[in-house]
Amino acid sequence: DTEVTQTPKHLVMGMTNKKSLKCEQHMGHRAMYWYKQKAKKPPELMFVYSYEKLSINESVPSRFSPECPNSSLLNLHLHALQPEDSALYLCASSQDGDSSNEQFFGPGTRLTVL
Minimum distance between the CB of residue 84 and other proteins, rounded to whole angstroms?
19
- In angstroms, the first-to-last Cα distance of the chain is 36
Closer residue to other proteins in complex, CB, 66/108: 108
- Do residues 2 and 94 touch, judged by C-beta distance below 8 A? no
d(CA 73, CA 25) in angstroms, rounded, equals 7
Closer residue to other proteins in complex, CB, 18/41: 41
Amino acid (one-letter) located at 7? T
Minimum distance between the CB of residue 79 and other proteins, rounded to whole angstroms?
26
Half-sphere exposure of 41 toward its Cβ, with a 13 Å CA cutoff? 12
Binding site for other proteins (CB under 8 A): 4, 31, 40-45, 48, 50, 55-56, 90, 94, 97-108
Closer residue to other proteins in complex, CB, 19/107: 107
Minimum distance between the CB of residue 40 and other proteins, rounded to whole angstroms?
8
Minimum distance between the CB of residue 52 and other proteins, rounded to whole angstroms?
13
Handedness of CA 19, 25, 30, 36 (dihedral sign): negative
